[in-house]
Each structure stands twice: as C-alpha cells, then as structure tokens.
Structure 1
Amino acid sequence: MPDSSFEFAEQLVPLHWNGLILQVPPDWTPAVLDGRYLLAEAGDVPVMEVKWQPIQGRFSVAKTIRKLAKGVQGAELFIDEKDAQTPPVPEQWTEAVTRLEERGFHVKPIFWRASDLHEDAKQSPHISAGRGAVVYDPASNMAWLIQFYETGTGSIKEDAAKVLLSLRSPEPRQWLPWQVFGIRFQSPPWLELMRHAFNPGRYRLEFKGRGWHNATRLVLERVGPARAVLRGAGLREWAESYYARELTSMKPVEGRPQVAEVRWQQLPGRVLQRGGRACVRLSMDGQMILAVFLLNARVAELNAFQEIDQAYGIV
C-alpha cells in the first residue's frame, strides 16, 4: 500500500474497466473507451492513455514499445531514462516503479516529447510531453502500455506516479471488477465484454459467454432519471414495454408485489437446457433504473443470477 508520500489532497476513486484496475483523481474521467483502450481527461485535456491485453506466449518488451512508438506521432521516444536527452526522472516516479517491481511486475519506464516544440510551447494547449511505462504481470500474463501526458501549461508527473502505483492485475478465473461513470459491477469469469454504450440517460453493457459457440448473453442497463423516464407508470408496466425484446419468452416471477423491483424468468428447456432471468429495479436512492438480463444461459449460469444482480449498482 502507498505511504503518505503518495496521498492525494482528494481521495482517489476506482477506475475499473475490462481488466484495467486503477485508482485515479476524481476529476480524471474517461473520454474514450474501447474493449482494451482508455483515454482519460481532466476537464478537456488528455491526461492518461492506457492500452492493455493478455499475452499469449513469451512477452517482448521491445515489441510492445515499438507498437507504442508508432502511436506517438511527431514525437521522440526515449526508453533509457539515463539518456542525456531525457529530463530527470522524478523521485516519486522511480519509487512507484520500484514498488511495482517488488510486487512482481516487470516495468520498463518510457518518456517522450514532441519533436517540434517552440519557445512559446507553454502557451499551447496541446500535449507536449509524456511519461509512461510498459508493465507486465507474469502471474496473470497481462500487459499494459500506460502513458501520462503533460501539456505546455502544466505537469501531472506527481499524479502519474501515484496512479501508476495503484495498478492492480485482475485475478485469473475470478470475478472481474468494473467501476466507471458512476456504475459498479463484477463480471463472472465465464463472460466477456461484447459491446458498450454510454449515452446521456442510458448506459448499456453487453457481455457474451466465452467461446465461439457460447450463446449466453448478459445485458446491464442504467436508465434515468427514473421519474422522468417512468412518467407516472409502474415499473413493471414500463419495463415490459421498454424491454420487450429482452423479455421475450420470459414470464413475471410471482411473489409479493414490489414497487422498486420486478423480476422475470424463462425456465430452462428440456432439450437445450437454457433459460433466462431478469430484474429491473430502482437504485437505492430511487434516482435511476437498473436492469439486468441473463439470456440463453445454462442452468449453472442461471444459478449465479442473484450474485450477478447484487454486484450491479451505482456509486
């Protein structure tokens, strides 16, 4: 755990996305999200870019760095921090790298800067330099390319060291944590991200079962504000209209009527032994509608639905 020299004035917040597990300042928010790519901004200024992937076979730092260098247009990339052309390595950065290595990570620091800087670069809002690292965890075979950007108007190197130190590797064959844009979730190891969308008023994550012929699907949605969406309608009435496609072939689960939660299920068939379960509920504060649909799932997967549902919420 980091000591007091790595504390922020403001508490760090989790940023967890598809195998990326970090803690970042609260004003760092994702501007671009892909399957294994994230670009974070503070305000309108890029501050961090991360690419990551599981490694098959032998990991090559040199190959990974070459890929990174291709993505840095109009810039000089320095791999050896002892190079005379590089600026002094901040003490906190060196300490963060050392601590990651003590935890079993392989870390290769990098530095790059724009090759066409002018004397008035301080007035430019564009990125002028960056410090980063190639990180590899042999325990999980996961590799990360992390770049922290600096602009002509300021430096984030102290923040970068603290964020780098917060990096964690996903546990193999364990539930994977997610936390982004105010939602949290844990996905079981038999699911992988298929697509996602974060639109105003509606967030949607779709997962599929691992394997080419695995038909299992999981859909998570956050819709709101609830009062504006429902417009006086009951939760079940609204959900059966709004989610007509997802609820096809499902029947309401009978039980005590709930104002803030409704459920459906499709019992597994005799031949394919696949079914579905669904829950649409209000968040604890009543401000948002949370929906969970497990579709075309095997019996063992259906048995995990309650745990999946409980893992999904807002922060």
Structure 2
Amino acid sequence: MDSASDIPGSPVAWNGVFLTVPKDWTPATIEPRYISFTRNATATLECKWSPETGTISLPRKRKALERQMKRAEGFTFAPQAIPPHWLRALERLSADFEILPFAHALGTGALCLHRPTNTSLLLNCYIRPDEPQHDLHAVLASLGVSAPGTPVPFAIQDMQFTVPAGYVLQKAEFNPGNTCLRFARERCTLTVQRLTPANVVLQGRPFRAWIQETQDVPLSHIRKDKTTLPQGAHKRYLWRTTPRPSLLQRLTSFRNGLKSARAMQGTAWVADEENKLLLVTHESATTSHCDEQAFRTLWQSVRVF
C-alpha cells in the first residue's frame, strides 16, 4: 500500500486492490472482487477487478464490455463524449495502467489493464462535473494492485492486517458486531474475526472460559502469553490442539472419504480502548503441524481502530 501512504484519508485494501479514500467515503458493497463507495448515502465510485490468465487484449476487452453494456443508456467509448474532468482524473492513475475511458448516462468509467499483475479493472464514477474533483484525483492516484506471490494487505471497515502469500480469500462475512474473513491455501485455513463490543460478547465470563466454549478447546490448552502483545492489548491468550485419532478412526475416515481431525492453533485478545475482541485461528487438515509462520504473520499484523 506504499502508493497510498502519503495521501490523507482512510486506507482500503481488499483482495488484491488497494487505495485511499476520503474519511467520509464509506464502503457500501463488498464482494470478493468488487467494492463500491458512497458519500452521504450517494454513490461515488465502484471498482471491479479480475486477475487474468494469458495475455490481455485491450480491444477484446473493449468489445466484451460493449456487448455487456449495450443496453446501458448513453454508454459510449467515443472520445468526444468523455467529460474533460474525468480525463484529468484518470491522468492521476499509475503509469502501470492502460486506460480506456467511457461515459454513460449515470456518470463515467474506465476499463483499466494493470500490466505488471495482468489484472483487469473496471471503474465507474458517479461524481458530477460540478462537484469538487480533488478527492477523486487523490483516490485514483492511490489505486494499486498487489503483486502475485506476495503478502496481500487488507484494510476494510475497522480492521487492517496482512495475509501471507498463497492464501486466497475463501469467505467474508460482515454482520453487525461480527466481521469474519477466512483464507485458504491447500489444506490450511486462516481465519480473522472481530467481535464487538467485547464486554457484551464476553458477558462477564472469564476470557479463557469464553475461548473454551466457543472454540471447543480444553481449558488446559489455553495459556496466557505476554511475550508479544498486539496493538492495544494488555493480555493475549494462545492455544494449540493436535488431535490424534485412533487407528479405527483413521481407517474409517480413509474408507469413507471423511475428513480427518484437524490441527488448530489460535490466539485471542481484546483491544481495550476500542472494546473489540480479536480472534485469529489457523487450521490444518494435516494433524502433524500447523503453519506457524503464516499464523504468526497474520495475527501480529492485525490492527483495529
């Protein structure tokens, strides 16, 4: 997220794309490879992206988009129809993008190809020409794409963290008081969960008892660890389980194609000033060990605000 670091605003990083938006821009719709923003309940910008396999052809992408948008009122790639304010805004995009602007009845847009990562992006902007454009210029200047095979930053709602390379977003849930994101690589799963308000979640129960109940972990496996504390935490709990199924269970699982018991490690803490409970777990279908480095990289990067 280096390109966004010097721009005032709120960082947003979501599944490979990162940018910085004004503090009054709110993520409205969040899907695996789509995000839209509103300001005062009015649409401002939306972005849809897709990693491509093989060589991207801009003319082919243009024809496909024309077929897709043929019923959209006023849709056109005609240069004379593109508003000057939109062309000036697009000039702020990184030189890594190849850009094909368009217009439609509701606003403007651009088909963008990010050559270094072989990613196609579709931008739609709903900011009117008579509105101030400096925010939009700053947002487009901050837009970037994470390189394949590198750790992927996530900054969404009130959380920031970095997912180790190779882990792919599998599931995302945004519910009131509960955000849960799950990532997978081969037979391993990493999960980040934020629960709030923490005091309501715990309901006066000891933290270890809550972990025991919700994670189905024996109390004897849960220990306090103060060697490394996340930001805003005064204590952190850590646990690890390595199930050892009996020979009969292993034979039955093999014969029936059932999943074997999973090894799990987890950690949980409360960001006291924010009154938010954070939970990070790593599960592996291989009962011998978990990916300790990936687990540590993830939980140590978590920040809430």
For the aligned pair, the TM-score class normalised by the smaller chain equals 0.7 to 0.9
Aligned-residue offset at 1:182: 0.9
1:106 partnered with 2:98: yes
What residue is the counterpart of 1:191 in the other structure? 167
Q: TM-score, normalised by structure 1?
A: 0.78
In 1, distance between residues paired with 2:150 and 2:285?
19
What is the aligned partner in structure 1 of residue 304 from structure 2? Answer: 314
Alpha-carbon distance in structure 1 between the residues aligned to 2:128 and 2:71: 15
Q: Which residue of structure 2 aligns with residue 122 of structure 1? A: none
Superposition CA RMSD, Å: 3.1
SS class of match (1:14) = strand
Question: Which residue of structure 1 aligns with residue 239 of structure 2?
Answer: 264
Q: Give the equivalent residue in structure 2 for 1:162.
A: 138
TM-score (norm 2): 0.80
Amino acid paired to 1:303? Q
Residues 256, 65 of structure 1: alpha-carbon distance in 2 compared, 3 angstrom cutoff: closer
Q: Which consecutive aligned stretches of 4+ in structure 1 deviate over 4 angstroms post-superposition?
A: 66-69, 253-259, 268-274, 297-300
Number of aligned residue pairs: 280
2:283 aligns with 295
- AA aligned opposite 2:268: V
Could you say if the C-alpha distance between residues 284 and 134 of structure 1 is closer, same or farther in structure 2, counting changes exceeding 3 Å?
farther
Q: How many angstroms apart in 2 are the aligned matches of 1:283 and 1:45?
A: 32
Per-residue displacement from partner, 1:291-314 (whole Å, max 9, x unpaired)?
001011664723332221101221
The change in CA–CA distance for 1:300 and 1:266 in structure 2 (over 3 A counts) is closer
Are positions 1:88 and 2:84 aligned together? yes
Cα deviation digits, residues 269-299 of structure 1 (max 9, x gap): 6999973210011125251000001011664
Structure 2 equivalent of residue 228 of structure 1 = 200
Q: 1:168 to 1:296 in 2, by over 3 A?
A: same
Q: Which runs of 5+ in 2 are unaligned?
A: 227-232, 251-259
Provide the rounded CA distance (Å) in 2 between the counterparts of 1:291 and 1:300.
17
Deviations along 1:126-152, one digit per CA (max 9) or x if unpaired, are: xxx322222222221122111111369
Contact 1:222 1:288 in 2 (8 A): yes
CA distance in 2, matches of 1:33, 1:58: 28
- 1:241 partnered with 2:213: yes
Instruction: Give 1:305's match in structure 2, choosing from 295, 298, 304.
Output: 295
Q: Report 1:44-193 matches (<5 A).
A: 44-69=41-66, 70-71=68-69, 74-81=72-79, 83=80, 85-89=81-85, 92-93=88-89, 95-97=91-93, 100-101=94-95, 104-112=96-104, 114=105, 129-150=106-127, 155=131, 157-193=133-169
- Tell me the SS of whatever aligns to 2:136: helix
Partners in 1 of 2:299 and 2:174 — Cα distance? Answer: 20
Give the residue type in structure 1 aligned to 2:281.
F
Q: Kindly provide the amino acid, as one letter, of the partner of residue 282 in structure 1.
A: V
Q: 1:23 to 1:286 in 2, by over 3 A?
A: closer
Q: Any conservation in 1 of the 2:69–2:75 contact (CA below 8 Å)?
A: no
CA contact (8 A) 1:281 1:291 kept: yes
Cα distance, 1:251 vs. partner?
A: 6.2
Q: Secondary structure at the match of 1:217?
A: strand
Q: Is the 8 A contact 2:52 2:118 kept in 1?
A: yes
Give aligned-pair identity as a percent.
Answer: 24
- Segment drifting more, 230-239 vs 14-23: 230-239
On the 8 A contact 2:264/2:290 being kept in 1, the answer is no
- Quickly say closer, same or farther: Cα 1:90–1:71, change in 2 above 3 A: closer
1:75 counterpart SS class: coil
Who is 1:282 aligned against?
A: 270
For the Cα contact (< 8 Å) 1:235–1:260, is it kept in 2? no
1:125 is matched with which residue? none
Worse-matched range after superposition: 175-184 or 288-297: 288-297
1:119 matched residue in structure 2: none
Q: C-alpha displacement at 1:48, in angstroms?
A: 0.9
Query: 1:259: how far off?
Result: 7.2
TM-aligned CA distance change 1:250 to 1:146, over 3 Å: farther
| Range 29-38 or range 268-277, more displaced | 268-277
2:253 aligns to what? Answer: none
> 1:254, CA displacement in angstroms?
4.3
The code of the aligned residue for 1:93 comes to A
- Describe the superposition over 1:3-35 as per-residue Cα deviations: whole angstroms up to 9, x where unpaired: xxxx98xx2211100011111111111111111
Distance change (3 Å), C-alpha of 1:232 and 1:255:
closer
Per the TM alignment, residue 171 of structure 1 is displaced from its structure 2 partner at its CA by 2.2
